[in-house]
Amino acid sequence: MKEISYEIIREIAIFSENKSGWTKELNLIRWNGKEPKYDLRDWAPNREKMGKGITLTEDEIRSLKEVLNIIEL
């Protein structure tokens, strides 16, 4: 299995933390040396492990922002 490399370019937000210390975060991350993407996922304390997540390009995050702005909560 190929090893995955990542570099957190910018820490944007921590949305929540559960009892075991895992946090749900939005960051700008460079995966495997490629162009950075916005990344939303769970991280273990000290980022020693990560959960499944979603990555978005700049265009996709702009579209998501537009959609979230029109949702009434």
**Domain 6-70 class, CATH top level:** mainly beta
Q: 20 is written with which tokens?
A: 């075991």
Local confidence band at 32 (pLDDT 50, 70, 90 cut-offs): very high
Residue 69 pLDDT = 94
**Measuring CA to CA, which residue among 28, 30, 31, 49 is closest to residue 39?**
28
The domain segmentation of the chain, as residue ranges, is: 6-70
Residue 1 pLDDT = 72
Rounded to the nearest 10°, the torsion over CA 36, 44, 41, 50 is: 70
Distance CA 48, CA 30 (A): 17
Residue 57 pLDDT = 98
Percent of the chain with pLDDT strictly greater than 90: 92
Residue 8 pLDDT = 97
Q: Write out pLDDT tens, residues 35-61.
A: 999 999 999 999 999 999 999 999 999
